[in-house]
Structure 1
Amino acid sequence: MSKTPLTNVAALAAIGLAAAGLAPAEPAFASDQLTITSFGGAYQAAERKALFEPYAMQAGVKITEDGYNGEFAKISAMVESKSVTWDVVDADANATIRLCADGVLETIDWKKLGLDRTRFTDGNKYDCGVPNTIYATVLAYDKDKLPNGPKTIADLFDVQKFPGKRGLLRSPFGNLEWALIADGVQFKDVYKVLNTSEGVDRAFKKLDTIKKDILWWQTNAQPPQLLADGQVIMTSAGNGRIYDANKNSGKHFEIVWDAQELGMNVWTIPNGGPRRDAAYKFIAFAGSPQAQANQTNYSSYGPANKDAIVHVDPAILPHLPTTPDHMANALQVDPAFWADKGDDLRQRFTAWLAK
């Protein structure tokens, strides 16, 4: 897969800006700036190429980037202290729902944005966010080290067939869902079961079966490195990180497209930011079909704008979690469930780890 030439990037940017009611501008003055915060790594590098650089060039805005690991507290502290320095934040859907309820984020005015909310996947679920990318947490392994690797999520829990360490995020998020699926719960019933104390007990009991074989990771950059170093035989990971390792580092990692957990990142505006209008203009551009399609030239995350898919290079489609073949066996993570139950489950998880 080749990257879009700069001339095409500029053309896409111009189209997106026209859709957002913006015109190319003269070079930026010092006051014409925007601070955008995202998750770093290959993901933010893709946003830089597909969104930040084209927008800065066409709108005449200087973009300053910052990075974080999705922590709630950083955004909340800025808003509470009235010292907001992040104009636009790419946030996880679960965090967005919670921060919106707490009044930390701006309620999105879709009329001001100039985008059709109904054309965004789950657009009606986020009062304080504009859906950006759809990612998948997947099970992955190194074909060079494990030629006959796992085929289903149940294999993650089969230490007889696949002895060795497996990597998992140090969090109940996603792991409880996989535990229930591996224990026979149907996708459609996962959150119904997990919403009961018996279901939570069942999930932790399944995790008990591999607890001593788990190597816990905490940042998204870790899983590919754990595989490359041979510290684990399989690991949960963001699909984009695995794709990037194969494409740009020559790895031969394989994704198990079974029970992949679909999540979403959304563009948000912290309340009280000094450049609210500029933030809206950027999000209008970033949410356009052309801009979201352009992101797939640099990362393997699916566009949240449904109208973007017709602009995606057909060669890229098989690598996106939102292709029909992959969607057929995917679990849509429920952000409302985690916004409601997350604190209790994290406390339970911490206690479980300490046992």
Structure 2
Amino acid sequence: MAAACAVAATGAAGAAHAEGTLNVVSWGGAYAKSQIEAYHKPWMEQTGNQINSIDYDGNVAPVKAQVESGNVTWDVVDVELSDAVRLCDEGLIELMPLEELPPAPDGTPAEDDFIPGTLHDCAVATIVWTNIYAYDETQFPDNPPKTVADFFDVETFPGKRGMRKFAKANLEMALMGDGVPANEVYDVLSTPEGVDRAFAMLDKIKDDVVWWEAGAQPPQMLADGEVSMTTAYNGRIFNAIAVEDKPFKIVWDGQVWDLDLWVIPKDAPHKDLAWEFIKFSTATEQLAHQAEWISYGPARMSSVPLIGDHAEAGIPMGPHMPTAPENFTNAVQNDFLWWADHADEMNERFNAWLAQ
């Protein structure tokens, strides 16, 4: 809650914005930069409006707090799918007229152009991203880790582990690390025995874990030698490799992939302008342009052929997308319905486990 209050205060600090200014909230770092370059700057240049970019840690508690207090200061928020579903169910975000989304360049309606499952009553997806783990190649020159099971093997692959201080994705990776096939993860996790099994795997490395909360932390932890391997958002590690020339390597086995989506808090001060921004930023060209700044897959199928080289490093981006066939052989999609139903229970157990 302290973190939530701090984030809320950050949003409030930027609330005194002019009529043509949007408070757009996202995750910071290389990801926010990709949005600024692909969405914010072109939209501001085209419309003359302004964007106040606010970073947060993904905790959507401030959305609920702002709406319930009647003091909404955020106009557009980038959220994960399970949060979008829950916020929509609770009436905390605006319904969206999805039929107004722009078609693909060839005239294909938006509803047929977006990847199935990426358009929702209250949210429009922008990217496919994934939770992976990565390691410092200098730490394992002779026998590098190759599978998700290796992440949980501190005897063969010694060193500290970085993990997000959150239940989601950790439980799925723990089960895959214990041999559960990707397509059976949520069946197993839906049983008390399966939950126990996931926590038993986490127990194996608990004493070696350094916890992170913001997406920018894992690559910094690797760079500082604080950990030898860490879970992370794939785009953050890619940015460290491609732009900062870090000796990091992504292990795609056991990845847990997800979506990020734009939502508009209920009664946002500039909700009409916010919708105009969302329509612009989720057009084919803009989504393709974002993929030239970070290795997250566009939510529109028409964007994929337009993806070029990295805007700064100049390397082809296609092979670095989480959905590239060679990267997608043992991957599980975050089950947003499962998490919408079980998030409170799993987070409570996770926090209790942390405190033990």
- Distance change in 2, residues 1:114/1:290 (3 Å): closer
| TM-score, with structure 1 as normaliser | 0.88
Provide Cα deviations, 1:99-145, integer angstroms capped at 9, x if missing partner: 11111011111123345234222436632110111111111011123
> Which of structure 1's runs of 4+ aligned residues deviate more than 4 A?
none
Query: What's the offset of the Cα at 1:81?
Result: 1.6
Query: What's the offset of the Cα at 1:180?
Result: 1.0
Aligned partners of 1:264, 1:282: CA distance in 2, in Å?
19
What pairs up with 1:164-179 in 2 under 5 angstroms? 164-179=159-174
| TM-score, with structure 2 as normaliser | 0.88
Aligned partners of 1:297, 1:339: CA distance in 2, in Å?
32
Q: What is the match of residue 231 of structure 2?
A: 236
Check whether the contact 1:121–1:131 (CA below 8 A) recurs between aligned residues: no
Letter in 2 for 1:208: D
1:332 aligned onto 2:333:
yes
Letter in 1 for 2:248: F
Aligned partners of 1:35, 1:171: CA distance in 2, in Å?
26
1:354 aligned onto 2:342:
no
Give SS of 2:259's match.
strand
Q: What is the match of residue 98 of structure 1?
A: 86
Residue of 128, 146, 150 corresponding to 2:145: 150
Q: What is the match of residue 302 of structure 2?
A: 307
Check whether the contact 2:253–2:329 (CA below 8 A) recurs between aligned residues: no
Provide Cα deviations, 1:2-35, integer angstroms capped at 9, x if missing partner: xxxxxxxxxxxxxxxxxxxxxxxxxxx9532222
Check whether the contact 1:117–1:123 (CA below 8 A) recurs between aligned residues: no
Q: What is the match of residue 213 of structure 1?
A: 208
Give SS of 1:309's match.
helix
Aligned partners of 1:87, 1:59: CA distance in 2, in Å?
17
Aligned partners of 2:144, 2:229: CA distance in 1, in Å?
8
Letter in 2 for 1:300: S
Provide Cα deviations, 1:44-63, integer angstroms capped at 9, x if missing partner: 01110111000110122112
Query: What's the offset of the Cα at 1:233?
Result: 1.2
Letter in 1 for 2:246: K
Aligned partners of 1:70, 1:124: CA distance in 2, in Å?
19
Q: What is the match of residue 160 of structure 1?
A: 155
Check whether the contact 1:143–1:254 (CA below 8 A) recurs between aligned residues: yes
Moved more, 64-73 or 341-350: 64-73
**Equivalent residue pairs, number:** 327
What pairs up with 1:1-355 in 2 under 5 angstroms? 31-114=19-102, 116-123=110-117, 126-147=120-141, 148-313=143-308, 315-355=316-356
The share of aligned pairs that are identical, in percent, is: 44
Q: Structure 1 unaligned segments of length 5 or more: list them.
A: 1-28
Query: What's the offset of the Cα at 1:213?
Result: 1.7
Aligned partners of 2:221, 2:89: CA distance in 1, in Å?
37
Query: What's the offset of the Cα at 1:331?
Result: 1.3
Query: What's the offset of the Cα at 1:37?
Result: 1.2
Moved more, 159-168 or 192-201: 159-168
Check whether the contact 2:111–2:119 (CA below 8 A) recurs between aligned residues: no
Aligned partners of 1:124, 1:45: CA distance in 2, in Å?
22
Query: What's the offset of the Cα at 1:337?
Result: 0.9
Aligned partners of 1:299, 1:159: CA distance in 2, in Å?
31
Query: What's the offset of the Cα at 1:299?
Result: 0.9
Provide Cα deviations, 1:205-248, integer angstroms capped at 9, x if missing partner: 12212221222112111111111111111110111111111222
- Distance change in 2, residues 1:312/1:256 (3 Å): same
Aligned partners of 1:49, 1:114: CA distance in 2, in Å?
20
Check whether the contact 2:129–2:322 (CA below 8 A) recurs between aligned residues: yes
Give SS of 1:66's match.
strand
Query: What's the offset of the Cα at 1:183?
Result: 1.3
Check whether the contact 1:137–1:239 (CA below 8 A) recurs between aligned residues: yes
Aligned partners of 2:179, 2:210: CA distance in 1, in Å?
24
Letter in 1 for 2:332: L
Letter in 1 for 2:137: K
Give the superposed CA RMSD: 1.6
Aligned partners of 2:255, 2:286: CA distance in 1, in Å?
25
Aligned partners of 2:272, 2:211: CA distance in 1, in Å?
41
- Distance change in 2, residues 1:52/1:125 (3 Å): closer
Check whether the contact 1:36–1:66 (CA below 8 A) recurs between aligned residues: yes
